[in-house]
Amino acid sequence: MKKALFALLPVAALTLSACGSSGSDSSASNSSHGPITIWYSNNAQEVAWGKKMVAQWNAGHPKEKITAQEIPAGKSSEEVIGAAITAGNAPCLILNTAPAAVPGFQKQGGLVALDDFPDGRRYLQERVGGRLSQYASPDGKYYQMPWKSNPVMIFYNKELFKKAGLNPENPKLASYQDFLDTSRKLVAAKAAKAAIWPAPSSEFYQSWFDYYPMFAAQTGKQLVEDGKAQFASADGLKAAQLWKTMYAEHLAPNEKYNGDAFADGKAAMATVGPWAISVYGDKVKWGAVPVPTSDGAAGKGTFSDEKSIGMYTSCKNRGTAWDVMKFATSKDQDGKLLEATGQMPMRSDLTSAYPSYFASHKDYEVFARQAEHTIEAPNVPNSVEIWQTFRDAYTKAVIFGKGDLATALKDAAAKVNELAQGQ
């Protein structure tokens, strides 16, 4: 029996190996044209935009048709994409590529460098402007097209602020002290259970919606710059201390809310991007202010919550894929995306590019101004592991208040420095 079993092993191994070896053509030419496949995000507004964009392209390019679908469901789109790269069945373009995942996809050999196209770098530079350098990989190339951002701000519920005796039209939320005082009043007045309720859970990306916007506003820096962690600095510590106080005083609960605490009136504030305008518009009477800084000065930036477009090496007709990428990010399509979703195309001088839209959508104008000053997740090796390392330290020292905060951040920074060097 054992002999028979072992005799079958090579067959099984070959069978399994064969399963994973199709679909890639690393020698595919960047000038090759023909039909391509794309995936886009699965939220209703983006699906509607995506379908129209694809229909428009297909009408004019019968020999280079796009077959489009929503990104397959999974725990996260990053894991789905990572699996598709390994299996060799990733589509040509994915219009939902998170910048934090790009270093990993690049290491897998899954992404095409866009500046390998003759007009690649020029197109990226013209469209994105000064923020482009944040999206460069350590080898100096661009493996992603920065596409749309959701610069996060502090949303607040005007009715709950009024209930707590606060000025709903001009709330005091500029400085850390203002933010704390306002939070204390909201909870003491029982206007809401929580002043703000970001997810206190351990997933690596959760810091993008509590600590990182405050850190970006305070410092104008990325979490890691020049291979060094920036969060153990005095300013990084101030932002962490603010949140530690929020949790210690139960102004922000350390238990996860199952649902949307802001929409349900359980939290008086939320850290969100412009996508929320259409979501909360009818349910909550909201206002939006920039993320606070320690002394109340104007913030130096905010987290972008950006999504890029990636071209994947499984693509054979990369010439068409590049043309589609430019088509989907053209001024016309960007305008349609803005109209359909309220998310900000990564374009220089956005408000000047679409004056009529912002004239008729005043709520979005403040986000457009913030969009000019977005701070991205750093494009460094071991990006996801770096965020997880930070989150683990943050969860322990800030959310659960264990140990010395400065020591926790310093220890995490030492580990992050090693990871950022690719170790």
**By the criterion CB under 8 A, which residues form the site for other proteins?**
1, 3-5, 8-9, 11-13, 15-16, 20-26, 78-79, 82-83, 85-88, 90, 104, 107-110, 199-204, 253-256, 258, 312-314, 382, 384-385, 388, 392, 395-396, 399-400, 402
Please check whether residue 257 is in contact with residue 181, taking contact to mean a CB–CB distance below 8 angstroms. no
Residues 6+ apart with CB under 8 A from 34: 63, 64, 316, 317, 320
Minimum Å gap between C-beta 340 and other proteins is: 31
Burial class (CB in 10 A: 0-12, 13-18, 19+), 45: middle
Nearest to 223 by CA among 209, 238, 208, 234: 208
Nearer to other proteins, 106 or 302 (CB): 106
Please check whether residue 95 is in contact with residue 328, taking contact to mean a CB–CB distance below 8 angstroms. yes
Residues 6+ apart with CB under 8 A from 292: 154, 173, 174, 175, 176, 178, 179, 214, 217, 299
Minimum Å gap between C-beta 260 and other proteins is: 15
Q: Parallel, antiparallel, or unpaired: how do β-strands 302-303 and 374-375 relate?
A: parallel
Minimum Å gap between C-beta 73 and other proteins is: 13
Minimum Å gap between C-beta 366 and other proteins is: 32
Minimum Å gap between C-beta 66 and other proteins is: 22
Minimum Å gap between C-beta 227 and other proteins is: 18
Strand partners, 240: none
Nearer to other proteins, 3 or 63 (CB): 3
Nearest to 261 by CA among 236, 292, 283, 231: 283
Minimum Å gap between C-beta 315 and other proteins is: 11
DSSP state of 201: S
Give the amino acid at 7: A
Please check whether residue 230 is in contact with residue 219, taking contact to mean a CB–CB distance below 8 angstroms. yes
Nearer to other proteins, 3 or 362 (CB): 3
Minimum Å gap between C-beta 296 and other proteins is: 32
Chain centroid offset of residue 418 CA: 24
Nearer to other proteins, 156 or 208 (CB): 208
Nearer to other proteins, 21 or 133 (CB): 21
Residues 6+ apart with CB under 8 A from 284: 155, 157, 159, 262, 263, 265
Quote the CA–CA distance of 94 and 39 in Å, as a whole number. Answer: 5
Nearer to other proteins, 95 or 398 (CB): 398
Minimum Å gap between C-beta 399 and other proteins is: 8
Nearer to other proteins, 21 or 69 (CB): 21
Torsion of CA 262, 263, 265, 268, to 10 degrees: 30
Minimum Å gap between C-beta 385 and other proteins is: 4
Task: Measure Cα distances from 125 to 119, 131, 198, 335, 396 in Å.
Answer: 10, 9, 35, 19, 41
Nearer to other proteins, 66 or 397 (CB): 397
Nearer to other proteins, 102 or 174 (CB): 102
Minimum Å gap between C-beta 204 and other proteins is: 7
Nearer to other proteins, 283 or 402 (CB): 402
Residues 6+ apart with CB under 8 A from 29: 318, 319
For residue 366, the tally of other CB atoms under 10 A from its CB is 17
Nearer to other proteins, 110 or 342 (CB): 110
